[in-house]
Structure 1
Amino acid sequence: MLKEFAGLSTAVVADACVRLGVGLRAAPVGVSGAVVGARAAGRVLPVRHYGSVDVFLEAYGGAREGDVLVIDNGGRTDEACIGDLAVLEARAAGVAGIVVWGLHRDTAELQAIGLPVFSYGALPLGPLRLDEREPEALLSARFGPHRVSAEDVVFADADGVVFVPGERVGEVLEAAAAIARTERAQAQRIAAGGTLRRQTAFDAYLERRAADPSYSFRQHLRRVGGAIEE
C-alpha cells in the first residue's frame, strides 16, 4: 500500500474522497510524525489502550505484513502510551507504521528506529492507570470522532492522517493520482508564467457566477478540468 501511496499525499487522498463521495475521515489537527519525513500507508490494525503494553503485544500477534497500528488512547495528553520497545516489537511483527490518538515518548530512540510514528507529540510520563478492557479492544479503534477497523486503510504524512474504507481504496487512489497529475501540471504552467486565474478561466467563472449565483467554483473546476479544492 505504501508503494501505491508513493508520489501522492494525504491532501490529494482527501480531495479524492470528496470527489468520489467517500465519507472523509481525517485525524484531528495536531497529529504529526515523530520522524521527519515519515509516511505510512496500510491496512488498519486497531487497538485500544488501557494503560498496559500487553494489548499492543496481543495486537501484533494478528498483524499482517504492512499493517499500520492505529492506537486509540482517547486523545489523552497526560500520558505517553507508546515508546521505543513497543515500536521495535511492532517492526519485528511486520507493522509498517503506528498512528496514535494520544502521545508517544522516547523520541530520540524512535527517530533512530525510523519506523513511522504519528501522534499528538511527546511526553516523558508513561501510563499510571490500568483501566478495564473492553471486548472490542482489538476489533476497532476510535480516532477523534471516527471509528476505524481492519476494514479500513490509513494514510499518513506531513499533512496528517486520513482513513479510507478498504473497499473504496482502489478508486480513491486512482482519483488521487489523477488529481496529483493535474495539480503538478498546473504548478508547472504557473512556474512558466501561466497564472492559475488564466488556467482556470477565472474571468469566465466570475461572469457566469454573476448570472447564476448558485454556480460554484468547484463546479467550474470540474467543467474546465482544474484541481485546486478537490
Structure 2
Amino acid sequence: MLKGFEGLSTPLVADACVRLGVELRAAPTGVVGVVAGARVAGRALPVRHYGSVDVFLEAYGAARDGDVLVIDNGGRTDEACIGDLAVLEARAAGVAGIVVWGLHRDTPELLEIGLPVFSYGALPLGPLRLDGREPEALLSARVGPHTVTAGDVVLADPDGVLFVPADRVEEVLAAAAGIAVTERAQAARIAAGDTLRKQTGFEEFLERRAADPSYSFRQHLRRVGGAIEE
C-alpha cells in the first residue's frame, strides 16, 4: 500500500476522491506526524481507548503486517493515551504506523523509535480513568466526525490523514497519479515562463463565465485538461 502511495500526497488523493465521487474523510486539523516528514499507508486497524492500554494489546493480536492502528480517544486533550512502550509493541506486531484522535507522550522515545505516529500533540499526563468498554471497541474508531473500520485504508503524510474505502483505494491512487502527472507538467511549464493563466486559458474562462455565470473554473479545468482544484 505504501508503494502505491509513493510519489503521491494526501492533497492529490483528496482531489482524486472528489473527481471519483468518493466521500472525503480526513482526520481533524492538528493531527500531525510526530516525526517530521512521516508518511504511512495501510489497512486501518481500529480501536477505541477507555483508559487502559489493554485494548491496544488486544488489537495487536489481530494485526497484519502493514496495518495502521487508528485510535479513537475522543479527541481528548487532557490525557495522552499512547507512549513509547505501546508504540514499540505496535512495531513488534507488524503495525506500520499509528493515528491517534488524541494525544501522545514520550516524544523523545517516539522520535528514536521512528514509527510514524500522528496525533494532536504531546502531553505528559497519562489516563486516570477507566471507562466502560463498548462492543465496537475493536470494530471501529471515530476520528472527528468520521467512523473508520477495517474496511478502510489510511493514507497519511505531512499534510494530514485521509481514510479511503479499501475497495476504492486502487482506483483513487490511480486517479491521484494522473492528477500528479498533470500538475507536475504544469509546474514545469510555469518555471519555464508559461504562466498557469496561459496554460488554463484563463482569459477564455473569464469570457465564458461573463456569458454564462454558472460556468465554473472546475468545469473549465476539466474541459481543457488542467489540474489545480477539483
In the TM superposition, what is the alpha-carbon distance from 1:10 to its structure 2 partner? Answer: 0.4
Provide the residue aligned with 2:213 in structure 1.
Answer: 213
Provide the residue aligned with 1:155 in structure 2.
Answer: 155
- CA separation in 1, counterparts of 2:215 and 2:23? 24
- CA separation in 1, counterparts of 2:181 and 2:88? 37
Are 2:119 and 1:119 equivalent residues in the alignment? yes
- CA separation in 2, counterparts of 1:95 and 1:42? 9
In the TM superposition, what whole-angstrom CA distance separates every residue of 1:73-101 from its partner, at most 9, and x where no partner exists? 00000000010000000000000000000
Q: Which amino acid aligns with 1:2?
A: L
In the TM superposition, what is the alpha-carbon distance from 1:188 to its structure 2 partner? Answer: 0.7
In the TM superposition, what whole-angstrom CA distance separates every residue of 1:154-213 from its partner, at most 9, and x where no partner exists? 100100000001111010000000011111111111111110000100000000000000
Provide the residue aligned with 1:131 in structure 2.
Answer: 131
In the TM superposition, what is the alpha-carbon distance from 1:55 to its structure 2 partner? Answer: 0.3
- CA separation in 2, counterparts of 1:118 and 1:59? 18
SS of the aligned residue for 1:167 comes to: coil
Q: Which amino acid aligns with 1:96?
A: A
In the TM superposition, what is the alpha-carbon distance from 1:219 to its structure 2 partner? Answer: 0.4
Provide the residue aligned with 1:168 in structure 2.
Answer: 168
- CA separation in 1, counterparts of 2:103 and 2:209? 47
- CA separation in 2, counterparts of 1:71 and 1:23? 21
Aligned pairs for 1:1-230 within 5 A: 1-230=1-230
Tell me which stretches of 4 or more aligned residues in structure 1 moved more than 2 Å: none
In the TM superposition, what is the alpha-carbon distance from 1:65 to its structure 2 partner? Answer: 0.5
- CA separation in 2, counterparts of 1:27 and 1:173? 19
- CA separation in 2, counterparts of 1:179 and 1:107? 36
TM-score normalized by the length of structure 2: 0.99
Gaps of 5+ in 1: none
Q: Which amino acid aligns with 1:37?
A: G
Percent of residue pairs identical = 84
In the TM superposition, what whole-angstrom CA distance separates every residue of 1:12-60 from its partner, at most 9, and x where no partner exists? 0000000000011011111100001100100000000000000000000
Gaps of 5+ in 2: none
In the TM superposition, what is the alpha-carbon distance from 1:115 to its structure 2 partner? Answer: 0.3
In the TM superposition, what is the alpha-carbon distance from 1:109 to its structure 2 partner? Answer: 0.5
- CA separation in 2, counterparts of 1:161 and 1:48? 18
